[in-house]
Chains A and B, each alone.
Chain A
Amino acid sequence: MMLDRMLNGLPLKAQNQIYSTFDNLGVLASVGNLKVAASMAPSAVRGLVLGRARHGDAVPMVSGHAAHFDLTYKGDFPEMYELYRRAVANQWNGDRDLDWSTSVDPEDPDKPVMPLDYPPFEGLAAKGIRLNQKEKLRFAADMASWTLSQFMHGEQGALYAAAQVTESVQWLDGKLYGATQVMDEGRHLEVFLRYLDTKLQKVYAVNDNLFVILDDLLTDSRWDVKFLGMQIMVEGLALGAFGTMYNFTREPLLKQLLRYVIQDEARHVHYGVLALKAHISQELSEAERREREDWAYEVALLMRNRFLSHELYYEWFEHKLSLKDWDEVVMNAPSMAAFRHLMFLRLIPNLEYIGLMSDRIKAHYDKSGLTSFLGGKNATQLSGEDLIRDIAAYKAPQ
C-alpha cells in the first residue's frame, strides 16, 4: 500500500525503477529462513542488483565443490545402474530424429508455435491495452521466442550442473548415469538453440531471476544442495514449463522436440530422487536435513512467483503500462496457472519421497496452497510416457 502511494503520480520510468528495486529487495526479504537467504544473497546481488547477465559475453561462476575420485569401484547402486543402461539405450539424435525440414511460421494462425489462448490478452485488456489481431500474432510469436530462449538458458545451466554433480556424486553408478545426463543436456541445448536460430530467428537474453537460481546452484559448494536444486527443483520447473508449452503449441516440430526432451527429464528427476533419498536418510543430520527442507521451500516459492517475462514487458509495454501492473497480469494468466500446476504436480511428491516434507514444512506449503499435490506419484513411479500422458490430460482452467 505504501509503495502504491509512493509510485502514484510519478512518470512510468521512475515508477518502474522504484518498483523494480523494491521488488528485487523483496526477493530476499520474502525468503523466510535467514540461513537460506544468506546462501542465496551473493547470486541475487550478481543477478538482480549488478545485472551480470545483462551485459558482456560470459559470466564466470566459481564453485568450491570437490571431485569425488573413486579408488575401489566397489559400491553398487543397481537402480542407478539400470537408469544408466536405459539412458544409454534411449539416446536420440537431435539432427537425425527431428524433421528440421518442417517449415515453421511463428505467426501462422493454423499452426501457431504459441496459440493466442496462451498470452494474457484478457488481463492486458483489463489494464487498457488492446492489441489488434496482427499485433496479437506477433506478440504470441515473441512470447514463444522468449519462453524457448529461457528453456535454452536453463539447459546451458543444466549442462554445467550435471557435469559438476557427476564429479562430486559418491556412487560410481551415479557417475556413469551422470555422464549420460551431461550428453542429454548438451543435446537439449543444441536443439533449443537450433530451433530458435533457424525457425524463430529471435533469441532473448536470460531472465534475471532464472540467472539467480542457476548462479546460486552452480556456485554452491555443497554437492547435495546442487543436486537438490538441479535434479529436483530446476528439473521440476522445467517439466512444468516444457509440459505447458507441449500442451499449448500446435507446431509439430516443436511438439516432437519437447516430447523427446520431457522423456529425458523424467529420467533426470528419477536419478535425483534415488540419490537424494539415500543421501538424506543416511548421511545428513536432522539440522542439515531441515536446512535443505527450508531451502527447497524457498526455491519453490521463488520459482512459482518470479518468472514474469520482464524482457517482453520492456520490449512491448514499457511506455504504456507499469511493471507492477504487468506482473499482476502475468501472475493471473491461465497459462501461468497451467505452468504452476504441472510444476508442483511433480515437485511436491518428489520432495515428499526424498524426505523433505516434514509436518513442520507441510504447514508452510499448506499456507501457500500446495499441499493438494501431496501423495501424488513420484519420479520412481513414472516413465517418460506416463509424464507425457499426464501433461496432455491436464486442461488449463479457462
Chain B
Amino acid sequence: MFALGRPRRILIPRETGPSKRWGNPQPGHAPRPVRVAELRRETADAVTLVLEPEDGVMPAFRAGQYFTHCFEIDGQVVRRAYSLSVPEGGGLACTIKLIPGGWVSSHVHEALQVGSRYRLIGPTGDFLLDEGKGPLRFLAGGSGITPVISLIETALERDPQRDIRLVYASRSEADIVFDQRLRELARRHLSLDVVHVLSQPQDAWQGQRGRLDSQRIRGLLGADPATTFYLCGPEGLMQLAANALHAAGVPAARIRQERFLAAPNAQARPSEPQEILFKQSGRVVTQRPGESILEAGLREGLPLPFSCMVGGCAHCKLQVLEGEVALSEPNCLSPEERAAGFTLACSACATGPLSVAA
C-alpha cells in the first residue's frame, strides 16, 4: 500500500528506441509564400526587403542563415540565396545588393514593390553563432555584412557585454551598408568595436583606408585561439583572411566562412523524360522535362539531403555511377569532387539514362 517499500521508478523505458513517427527530418522544402511589406534603401545600390509570410506564421531561423528566394521573372522561376539581415526573432528581412548587369538583383531593385509576392525556401545554412561566451571577430566585405549584422545583433541581445570586433571593408563612405545601425549598436554596446576599412574613401575620411592584406587582417582580427572568426565577403578577401588566420595558428574549427557564388548559368534541360536509378534505395525515378535530379527524387518521396537549391552549399552532392548530366555553372563543387564524379542534384539534370549513388 505504501510507496516506501516499492522500487522507485526513475526512468520511463522506451524499449524500442525513439518513436518511428518522428522520421528522418529534412529541412523543409515546401516554398512559403511571402509578401514584400517594405522596401528600405540602405545605400545607392543596396535595398532591404522586409517580408511578411502570407500564412501569418513567421518562420523560425537562426542568425546567419539564408533563404532561397524564388522569383518569377519573365515567366521563369529563378532562385537565389540571400542571407537574412535581422537578428533572431526580429522579423524577416534580407538585404540585396545590385550587381551591374545582374538579372535577378535588377529585378529586385526595379520590379519589386510593396505588395509584391513570391516564395521562399528554407531557412538553411550553417554560418551560425558560437553559443559559447568567447570573443567574436568578424570580417565582412561589401554585401557580406548581411549575415554578419544578424549574428552581431543576436550575440549582443544574448549577452550585451560580449567582446566583438567587426572589420568591415567597403569601397567608400557611401557604400557602407547599415552605417547608422552599426553606429547605434556600437554606441549602446561598449564591448562592440567596429573598424571600417575603405578602399576609395573621400579625402576627409579619418578611419582606415587602402586594401587589406594578410598582415593587416592579422593585426585587425588577432589570432586568439579562444576566439571564433567569421568571414563573409568576396572570395579573394576570404581566402586571404583564412590563410592569414591559419598561418597564425587559429584552428580551422574556429574559422567560419560564408561564400556567395555568382549566379549560375542555367543549362538547357532535356525536353524528354529521363530515367534515373537511385542505387541506394533501388528506386527508378522518371525525371520530367525541366526538372533537376533533386526535384525528381523529392517528388517521388526519396529522402535526399539538400539545402540552398542553388548550387552553393553541396548538401545535395551525389556521385554519378553511369550516364551523363548537365550541371549549371558556377557552383561550389571542388576540382577534386568533380574528378571523383560528383555532381549537385539541385543544379544538374540527367541528359540520358542515369545511375547515381544515392
Contact = CB atoms under 8 A, between A and B. Distances in A.
B14 interface: yes
B60 A260 contact: yes
A97 B62 contact: no
Interface in A100-114: 100-101, 110-111
A197 B10 CA distance: 16
B89 interface: yes
A395 B1 CA distance: 46
B59 interface: yes
A201 B4 contact: no
B47 to A, nearest CB: 26
Given A99-B27, A252-B131, A50 B17 contact: no
Contact of A101 (B27, B128, B132): B27
B60 A204 contact: no
Interface of B: 1-4, 6, 8-12, 14, 17-19, 22, 25-28, 56-60, 62, 88-89, 128, 131-132, 157-160
A382 interface: no
A54 B4 contact: no
Interface of A: 17, 20-21, 49-51, 54-55, 89-93, 96-101, 110-111, 149, 194, 197-198, 201-205, 250-252, 255-256, 259-260, 311, 314-315, 385, 388-389, 392-393
Given A111-B131, A198-B18, A392-B157, A91 B57 contact: yes
B89 A197 contact: no
A194 to B, nearest CB: 6
Contact of A250 (B6, B57, B132): B132
A100 B25 contact: yes
B18 A201 contact: yes
Contacts of B22: 100, 194, 197-198
Nearest to A96: B28
Contact of A389 (B25, B57, B157): B157
Contacts of B131: 111, 250-252, 255
Contacts of B25: 99-101
A56 to B, nearest CB: 9
B33 to A, nearest CB: 14
A161 to B, nearest CB: 21
Contacts of A149: 12
9 contacts: A21-B4, A49-B2, A91-B57, A92-B57, A198-B22, A201-B18, A202-B11, A203-B11, A204-B10
Given A201-B14, A392-B157, 15 more contacts: A17-B4, A51-B3, A55-B9, A91-B57, A93-B57, A99-B62, A101-B27, A201-B17, A203-B12, A205-B11, A250-B131, A252-B131, A256-B60, A259-B88, A389-B157
A315 B7 CA distance: 12
B11 A50 contact: no
B8 A252 contact: no
Contacts of B57: 90-93, 97
Contact of B62 (A49, A205, A256): A256
A393 B10 contact: no
B293 to A, nearest CB: 20
B89 A49 contact: no
B255 to A, nearest CB: 15
Contacts of B159: 392
Nearest to A47: B3
A197 B22 CA distance: 9
A197 B19 contact: yes
Nearest to B32: A96
A49 B3 CA distance: 6
B26 A101 contact: yes
Contacts of A91: 57
Contacts of A92: 57, 60
A192 to B, nearest CB: 13
A98 B22 CA distance: 13
A20 B8 CA distance: 13
Contacts of A89: 56
Nearest to B161: A395
A385 B60 contact: no
5 closest A-B pairs (Cβ-Cβ)?
A: A51-B3, A250-B131, A100-B25, A97-B60, A203-B12
Contact of A315 (B6, B10, B128): B10
A110 B4 contact: no
Contacts of A202: 11
Contact of B1 (A50, A93, A194): A50
B201 to A, nearest CB: 37
B12 A392 contact: no
Nearest to A54: B9
Contact of A393 (B17, B88, B160): B160
Contacts of B4: 17, 20-21, 51
A28 to B, nearest CB: 16
Nearest to B132: A250
B12 A55 contact: no
Contacts of B62: 99, 252, 256
Nearest to A249: B131
Contacts of A204: 10-12
A315 B18 CA distance: 22
A259 to B, nearest CB: 7
Contacts of B132: 110, 250
A93 B28 CA distance: 12
Contacts of B17: 201
Nearest to A247: B158
Nearest to B28: A96
A241 to B, nearest CB: 19
A51 to B, nearest CB: 3
A89 B53 CA distance: 11
A16 B289 CA distance: 73
Contacts of A96: 28
Contacts of A256: 60, 62
Nearest to A111: B131
A195 B8 CA distance: 25
